[in-house]
Chain A
Amino acid sequence: MSADAARAAVGTLVAELGTSPPPGRLRAALRRSLRDPALEVGYWLPDLPGFVDIEGKPFDPATAETATATYVHDAHGRIGVLTHRAVAPAEAPLLDGIVSAVRLVLENERLHAESRARLMELEQRRFFTDLIVDNAPVYFAVVDGEGVLTGGINDTLLAVLGIPKTENVRDRHYWDVVCLPEDEDAARARLALVASGGAARVEETRIRSASGEPRVVEWRDTILPDERGQLKWIVRAGLDVTERNEREHELRRLIEEQAALRRVAIVVAKQASLNELVRTVAREVGELLGGHTAAVVRAEGTGIRVVDGWAAPGGRSVDAGRFVELEGVASVTARALETGSPQRLVAVDDDAGRLWQSLEINSAIAAPIFVDGEVWGAINTTRNASAEPFRAGAEEGLADMAALVALALANAAAREELNASRARIVRAGDEARRKLERDLHDGAQQRLVSLAIALRLADAHLQKSPETARGILRAASEDLAGALAELRELARGLHPAVLTDRGLGPALQVLADRAPIPVQVENGLEDRLPTAVEAAAYYVVSEALANVAKHADASAAEVRLHRVDGTAFVEVIDDGVGGAVASTGSGLRGLADRVEALGGRLRVARGAEGGTRVAAEIPCG
């Protein structure tokens, strides 16, 4: 092709393309100019960076069907590429001319391709955004200034509301679609406030749900203005906080419950009076569980007696000391006492319910209080008819309180028993001294007085009637022997000398030898025990053998004595009729006190083969 021909072809091309041809015209014109039907045009997008075709799709010159790529540049750099069949050297000027001529058009088309490419990207982004919006665990609703869902709602919210994706909600009001009927006015007001720019950004409300159980949603509102800066849309993004709130509520309830338990535990630890403890527990229970009354009651016969209680303002007053008959009454406390487990009752429309309604109570819960494995009483709390009934499971919270009351009662009982035991020990000591004084007075002292008198009498008769005097002296001598025997017996009863001198084993053997029935002593001790332990063990055996002789109707008995890891064990087992009880007989009770005063324990039970087994274990300090 000559230079002229080339110029002519380029001129035709320029005339054909003009300055702003429709997109795609360039490629057609170039194909004709270069008589190359496979020619392709690529447009350089520096942002990619890379080539795209006229549709904005990526274009790689290296993969083009034609062999040659001619790059087109302007003053700022690369703007495009032509891929075409190889041109003969003679055609090179034509190609140069064409490249120069199409530079402007190519740039125009490049901009067009760039727009398409950007549009495609935007569409991809929008698709991506829609994907996120519809699948995110967040609710979206887009309303206009009138509250109409012109922007729709996302799939997540549709699913919760139970609305099919196919249903069009875009011409309906937000509150008609999303809100609970009773919340519609509030939602209307809220959106109006948001539209006016006056609302806080975050709001927590309830919404409907397909399950029927309202969901709690924390909404964040964002205003989208139009190009004039006027409100176009309000975008509501909502986080479902139903479970979070429930967890927080549960956590708060647990914290409050723990705090209440702690406060009651402090009162328990202070060893406060039962009444103070009961009032504290009742108040804490009432306030914690939102009751209107709360009381601690003690089981008594077929009813209960109110120990004390608490009433909220508006609650019925709790009368301490009042007896309430429970027989035939549908009472939550009666149920708790019967079943031994926490109970909850909500008034229903039956006789009991109507009774409750007459008392203006709609629900009550109660938990039993156990002391020493027995039901002692219960804690209960009630709610007025004006309030919601207690939630299911509220009664479980009472059980912990009941356990604390039980602990306090057990402590008080233990303290009472300790005090009683001390008093018994003191009384027993006093009684023993009185008895000793009486024994001395009635026994040895009287005999000695009689002796003194007899000696004086003998003296008086000595001169005139020596025979009488001798008789008096003989009688006096017998009296003296009797007095000595009494003194010995008395001394032995005070404290056995053999125990002091020889220890427990020999002392128990002496007891066994004196017993009216055969008693075998099995002594496993190698060393002496502390004096107090020896004395306690000795008196356990002494009293037990005395009881065997008096009451057991036994033919034989056995005494066992041994020590394991710092604890002395002493047992007396007989083959008699059995039936002895430690808490009743004053002798055994006194022994139990003596043993318990040393930190030990005395048990009286039926023996393995009948009879009675008295067993003491005493720490050796």
Chain B
Amino acid sequence: MVTRTTAGPPTCHDAGVTSVLLVDDHASARRSIRALLEAAGYEVVGEAADGRSAIQQARELLPDVVVLDIQLPDIDGFEVAARLAENGHRPRIVLTSSRTAEDYGELIDDAPAEGFLAKDELTGEALEELLTS
């Protein structure tokens, strides 16, 4: 069980459980990541397969964290992050991709996100480390 860290933003959910919105256009990836995060004690409160529904769900579900795939069929993850950052509720955003950070360069540094995790390196520990750093 992973508790929310002091560095984390306030959440609307039960104390001690970090809520996650999972955004990825590949169902198999969503399935795997959900299992991985839930095994690590996160609560996956929603899934979105494209950028627009991701924004909509973030507004409705007010998750603590959005695990956001960069390559999406409509608008990309950077754009989704930018729009989420404009909202009153600003979830913490972790960008992810099956590509590596080098493929995106400074775009990741400039994005309003906690950081980037390649999907093959995505674990509960890695996510927690990123969120607490």
Contact partner of A441 among B31, B35, B71, CB < 8 A? B71
- Which of B10-18, B80-88, B107-115, B117-125 lies at the interface? B117-125
Contacting pair A454 B32 (CB below 8 A): yes
Residues of A within 8 A of B71 (CB): 441
| A554 → chain B closest CB, angstroms | 36
Tell me if B28 is interfacial: C-beta within 8 Å of chain A.
yes
Contact partner of A456 among B26, B29, B36, CB < 8 A? B36
Contacting pair B29 A450 (CB below 8 A): yes
Contact partner of B39 among A446, A448, A449, A457, CB < 8 A? A457
Residues of A within 8 A of B40 (CB): 460
Question: A482 — nearest CB in chain B belongs to which residue?
Answer: B28
Contacting pair A449 B98 (CB below 8 A): yes
Interface 0/1 of B25-50, CB less than 8 Å to A: 01011011101100110000000000
Contacting pair B119 A449 (CB below 8 A): yes
Interface 0/1 of A310-322, CB less than 8 Å to B: 0000000000000
Contact partner of A450 among B32, B39, B99, B123, CB < 8 A? B32
Chain B 92-133 residues near chain A, CB threshold 8 A: 98-99, 119-120, 122-123
- Assuming the contacts A441-B71, A446-B98, A461-B39, asked whether A453 and B26 have C-beta atoms less than 8 A apart, the reply is no
With the chains together, A442 CA to B122 CA distance in Å? 18
With the chains together, A294 CA to B62 CA distance in Å? 76
With the chains together, A452 CA to B29 CA distance in Å? 10
| B76 → chain A closest CB, angstroms | 13
Tell me if A447 is interfacial: C-beta within 8 Å of chain B.
yes
- Assuming the contacts A441-B71, A449-B120, A452-B119, asked whether A457 and B29 have C-beta atoms less than 8 A apart, the reply is no
With the chains together, A83 CA to B33 CA distance in Å? 160
Contacting pair A453 B36 (CB below 8 A): yes
With the chains together, A42 CA to B71 CA distance in Å? 140
Contacting pair B98 A456 (CB below 8 A): no
With the chains together, A22 CA to B10 CA distance in Å? 169
Tell me if A445 is interfacial: C-beta within 8 Å of chain B.
yes
Residues of A within 8 A of B99 (CB): 441
Contact partner of B98 among A441, A461, A472, A479, CB < 8 A? A441
Max chain A Cβ within 10 angstroms of own Cβ: one of B28, B29, B119, B122: B28
Question: A446 — nearest CB in chain B belongs to which residue?
Answer: B26
Contacting pair A448 B35 (CB below 8 A): no
Contacting pair B98 A453 (CB below 8 A): no
Contacting pair B39 A453 (CB below 8 A): no
Contacting pair B28 A450 (CB below 8 A): yes
Contacting pair A452 B120 (CB below 8 A): yes
| B67 → chain A closest CB, angstroms | 12
Contacting pair A457 B26 (CB below 8 A): no
With the chains together, A456 CA to B122 CA distance in Å? 9
Chain A 419-472 residues near chain B, CB threshold 8 A: 441-442, 445-450, 452-454, 456-457, 460-461, 472
Contacting pair B119 A456 (CB below 8 A): no
Contacting pair A446 B36 (CB below 8 A): no
With the chains together, A448 CA to B32 CA distance in Å? 11
Residues of A within 8 A of B28 (CB): 446-447, 450, 479
Residues of B within 8 A of A441 (CB): 71, 98-99
Residues of B within 8 A of A449 (CB): 29, 32, 98, 119-120
- Assuming the contacts A456-B36, A457-B39, A461-B39, asked whether A446 and B120 have C-beta atoms less than 8 A apart, the reply is no
| A582 → chain B closest CB, angstroms | 33
Residues of B within 8 A of A452 (CB): 119-120
Question: A454 — nearest CB in chain B belongs to which residue?
Answer: B32
With the chains together, A460 CA to B122 CA distance in Å? 13
Max chain B Cβ within 10 angstroms of own Cβ: one of A446, A448, A449, A472: A449
Residues of B within 8 A of A472 (CB): 35
Residues of B within 8 A of A445 (CB): 98
Max chain A Cβ within 10 angstroms of own Cβ: one of B29, B32, B33, B35: B32
Max chain B Cβ within 10 angstroms of own Cβ: one of A445, A456, A461: A456
Contacting pair B120 A448 (CB below 8 A): yes
| A254 → chain B closest CB, angstroms | 70
Contact partner of A457 among B36, B98, B119, B120, CB < 8 A? B36
With the chains together, A454 CA to B122 CA distance in Å? 11
Residues of B within 8 A of A448 (CB): 120
Residues of A within 8 A of B119 (CB): 449, 452-453
With the chains together, A52 CA to B99 CA distance in Å? 136
Residues of B within 8 A of A479 (CB): 28
With the chains together, A226 CA to B32 CA distance in Å? 134
Contacting pair A442 B35 (CB below 8 A): no
Residues of B within 8 A of A454 (CB): 32, 35
| A131 → chain B closest CB, angstroms | 110
| B83 → chain A closest CB, angstroms | 24
With the chains together, A472 CA to B38 CA distance in Å? 14
| B64 → chain A closest CB, angstroms | 21
| A450 → chain B closest CB, angstroms | 4
Residues of A within 8 A of B120 (CB): 448-449, 452-453
Residues of B within 8 A of A447 (CB): 28
Interface 0/1 of A575-612, CB less than 8 Å to B: 00000000000000000000000000000000000000
| A444 → chain B closest CB, angstroms | 10
Residues of A within 8 A of B29 (CB): 446, 449-450, 453
With the chains together, A450 CA to B119 CA distance in Å? 8
With the chains together, A479 CA to B26 CA distance in Å? 14
Residues of A within 8 A of B32 (CB): 449-450, 453-454, 457
Residues of A within 8 A of B26 (CB): 442, 446
Residues of A within 8 A of B35 (CB): 453-454, 457, 472
| B32 → chain A closest CB, angstroms | 4
| A202 → chain B closest CB, angstroms | 93
Question: B28 — nearest CB in chain A belongs to which residue?
Answer: A450
Question: B31 — nearest CB in chain A belongs to which residue?
Answer: A450
Question: B35 — nearest CB in chain A belongs to which residue?
Answer: A457
Residues of B within 8 A of A460 (CB): 36, 39-40
With the chains together, A453 CA to B71 CA distance in Å? 18
Residues of B within 8 A of A446 (CB): 26, 28-29, 98
With the chains together, A447 CA to B28 CA distance in Å? 8
With the chains together, A457 CA to B71 CA distance in Å? 24
Besides A449-B98, A453-B33, 7 other A-B contacts (C-beta < 8 A) = A447-B28, A450-B28, A453-B35, A453-B120, A457-B35, A460-B36, A472-B35
Q: Footprint of B on A, CB under 8 Å?
A: 441-442, 445-450, 452-454, 456-457, 460-461, 472, 479
29 A–B contact pairs at CB < 8 A? A441-B71, A441-B98, A442-B26, A445-B98, A446-B28, A446-B29, A446-B98, A447-B28, A449-B29, A449-B32, A449-B98, A449-B120, A450-B31, A450-B32, A452-B120, A453-B29, A453-B33, A453-B36, A453-B120, A454-B32, A454-B35, A456-B36, A456-B123, A457-B32, A457-B35, A457-B36, A457-B39, A460-B39, A479-B28
What are the nearest 9 A-B pairs in CB distance? A452-B120, A453-B32, A449-B119, A450-B32, A449-B98, A446-B26, A450-B28, A445-B98, A457-B36
